[in-house]
Structure 1
């Protein structure tokens, strides 16, 4: 057990595991098997009772260091006081009216903040939804309406959601697409810049972009493409950071050919990479930006933000949804963004990267660790069979299980299931973070 209490934390910042899973978690798991669809999977066999700062406490009192943040959602912590207060105050007035029926100021305020924060100084507008998949799907709708074209270009290893259209946009079959077709048409996939797995290790970002562009021009036709959709740092695909120059070259080509460039910032946005948005690292200004996850401190909210003329190309009533921009979620988003700003969570993300690289980078090339990559608090270790680049998903599973036994929650990802991804809350205390990384380092060394 390691105990470190960060200033301002409501819960003791403690790693503590006794009986695991405990009796309450086992009892709930039995009820779940009878009540919850089998297609819903969970990474760990325990049930949360409380969470704050860098820890999650289960129903049996076990306390885990959280290196997943609910998949990059609770960046400001799972019970940030400002977010909790904003949610309570908003809910005390009204939980819903539907913005399309009786609008409210909170929606407008969130749109104003997103218009300010997203890259570029052009005129912008925003529309709000509930989930990342909804945001991506509506960004495609906007691009098609604005251009009068149908084709959408996406990339190898991409993940964009689980709706019918976003499953078509997503690259990975299992578990996201298997058995759920047929999928939406007019989606075309081209090669991603994946430096660790390039056949030519010397290929530049610009050259990788040219490879993709050539395929688009030959197989689709530039004048048929409504949008290029890309995660600036791919999430589920393995936290793949494209080679420098890849994103700018794609963006420039899109602009030259009247193609809408959509940055899917659902996982990488809101300070996660050390900037407000991951495209900021290379100065790329997308036409549309999709956001969700970290936007509202855990409340369901998502958005499409971008060039005003694109958003306004859609006819009245063509965008919306019953719950889109829920007033309680809007209040949470305004509070979460304020917390990010006041606590300089961009700087905190960069500090998390410094610590993680200090602890973990010496493992690269030793044993199963083929590469460490990422930005800020969006970091990954790609695991391989020693001496090769052959994916090693078995090691990823074993390491995640070993960490869990020691009270550390980590997530895996990657097209090949061989990537450990690190997404700690940006408010995690440094001592607690170092303790968790030490557990991870020991688990890796045991492979």
Structure 2
């Protein structure tokens, strides 16, 4: 048995969720130990340098809705390394009939765009007058088809949720993913009226989309450096309940504590709880994770005929193009790309395309690179290309997920001192995980 005292909080997992929990405990002076099975922390947040450019193989940007990222950066003395997204991000492109069509956040752009037909636009604009309501859960696809019509779902909703969640909108839960829109329909009879009412509420902090001069990994590296004395690089193999708390068994040792905060993926925790709580174990293992292939490409800027001005593009599944979308990194964060290069992040896989798990990466790269070049109008070969396959990238909040969340809450109430966190609990974005970690620490220390 190790010399870790039972009063120290044990944190499982050194991704952004576990690191954030550790940091907020550290800020409050509460003793803890963090266990990470990999040689490095950060989880899916991975930044590398190639040809003088920063390549993010995980999250490519951070949407700071309430100033939390800026606050955390200040605490870590990273404020001078924050970079704000360029104005290009306001324009996004959707592929329609194998061509890039621009869309900006304005009514005039929606009216003029070729993404929707006149009939599709008319159906979309009828949304405030569609009176149907449904109190139960349903898929995002079914919900929004009722509200805005099939064409808008196919060409606006589907590509957006494929890009964010890598998900199938006809399986994803309305209540878990779009709780506000579900509330708007219930409270106002329309998502448009609800959005207008909520927009009147002024936000205290201006939202920003951010990154760091050395990529997103600079954030996790900074936390790791500050708490390095509290990190144990060892894999937790089992979690057991004792009379006075919990026992954590690792490959090298075993530890006891009254407080455990688990921030490892649902499937990992599920396998760990097989003998502890078989029913919950099965629920956790059952949570689906979609795979994702992140491909970084650098072209000579002179090989791109028209300099793209926008965030990037998304591809509706109806277009029958394998590529999910692309982020034009050199447009939105020009500071991260060396002069003379055009940099893009290509996204492939998701719930619709699990073939990336078994197909050779080189073949997938060749296929999506051909699609990307056709859409960008270039025959040039990239100066650099490298991919990273995330086999279990993004948890899928499918219909029925709310019941799973209730079972997780019940499990915690029946096992005081044991807390479950991470992106399957708090949300898939980095800011979601940071906020969830802070709220949990506030709850635990209260």
Higher strand share: 2
Structure showing greater relative contact order (alpha-carbon pairs closer than 8 Å, 6 or more residues apart): 2
Q: What TM-score do you get using the length of structure 1 for normalisation?
A: 0.28
Q: Highest CA radius of gyration, 1 or 2?
A: 2
TM-score of the pair, normalised by structure 2: 0.28
